Structure 1
């Protein structure tokens, strides 16, 4: 089979992404990527000027796919509370495939690429969570007096804190237990009695984190 330039570029990006998610960003070299994809470094440089550009493109593709997954899950939910559960499930799946050192490497060594993380949080996730919280208020599941702007930011920062290994070192804390505790704490801070009944039903019948 003869591969096109588009196929080669796609393979380079996918191979590099797999290495980044498994080993982090800093430790992966261009030689590693070339070996993973089965091409020469010269071929890689025909498409990308350096590793930084590969990281930026890899992250862009990652967030495009992640957004689609989250939106699909939210659109298929029956209530706002269900939507929050669905987002948490998406995050759990995400964490299972990503080495926690990736976020550290992004912040320290690739600030331009890290800007995409901030955009994902501050634009996409913030607006989506505000929309869900407002929906939950209308459904009578969330307390009407909550400030959706503040609580949406709180939830985003909770997830970010769970990722932060300087706060919750992986040798001392189980990531999923941390996330579940934060999720439970957040939900109980916003639900009405009707919401609590729905939450208990979901926990007992629908969801196993």
Structure 2
């Protein structure tokens, strides 16, 4: 890991814990215990710093997702593992981080593009295999289902719909997706999903 990657990783953890706007650039320099000149060699400004942090976060998320899916036994397992990981991720993130990120259009758009392109593609592949193998219902509209999954996520992170001070986003995530998965499963897939629910205390 390079020096820059180490710094970006530390900033990312700070952002996820406290939000982006909770710390000025001076605060971040102090918490990282680096020289101001070093900071300005790495980042043109705060917008550039946030963008680089989000790029690292996306790389880490996608790598983690690939490693996670390698351990799944079937498409139901894959979908459930992604959901459980999503719940865990939401629990670890201060909701302010998501709302703060929207103040940085380039970084926010990059995050959305990855969500739309990568996650939608992964979900489509999993669902398609699940249909062919008999775990998901054949009558589902694949394009529509993946679109609904994506739009439900956007609804979940919209503070006007689910204000973070009133709702636990991890619980919202669980309520939206776990029950939705049940609905698209065949009897065989549903039984496997139920076993997964029971085993993981969902």
Give the TM-score of the pair, scaled to structure 2: 0.92
Cα distance in 2, alignment partners of residues 18 and 201 from structure 1 = 34
Cα distance in 1, alignment partners of residues 145 and 67 from structure 2 = 23
Q: Relative CO higher for 1 or 2, CA cutoff 8 Å, sep ≥ 6? A: 2
Residue among 28, 32, 35 paired with 1:37? 32
Q: Which runs of 4+ in 1 moved over 3 A?
A: none
Cα distance in 2, alignment partners of residues 180 and 79 from structure 1 = 21
Residue among 21, 38, 47 paired with 2:42? 47
Structure 1 residue ranges without an equivalent (≥5): 1-5
Match of residue 197 from structure 1: 191
Residue 148 in structure 1 maps to residue 113 in structure 2: no
RMSD: 1.7
Match of residue 78 from structure 1: 73
Give the TM-score of the pair, scaled to structure 1: 0.89
The answer to whether the 8 A contact 1:15-1:33 is kept is no
**Total equivalences in the alignment:** 202
Cα deviations across residues 2-53 of structure 1 (Å, max 9, x unaligned)? xxxx854334323322221122122321111111111122220011111111
Give the 3-state SS of the residue equivalent to 2:184 in structure 1: coil
Cα distance in 2, alignment partners of residues 84 and 95 from structure 1 = 17
The answer to whether the 8 A contact 1:73-1:86 is kept is yes
Which residues in structure 2 correspond to 1:1-209 (within 5 Å)? Answer: 8-107=3-102, 109-204=103-198, 206-209=199-202
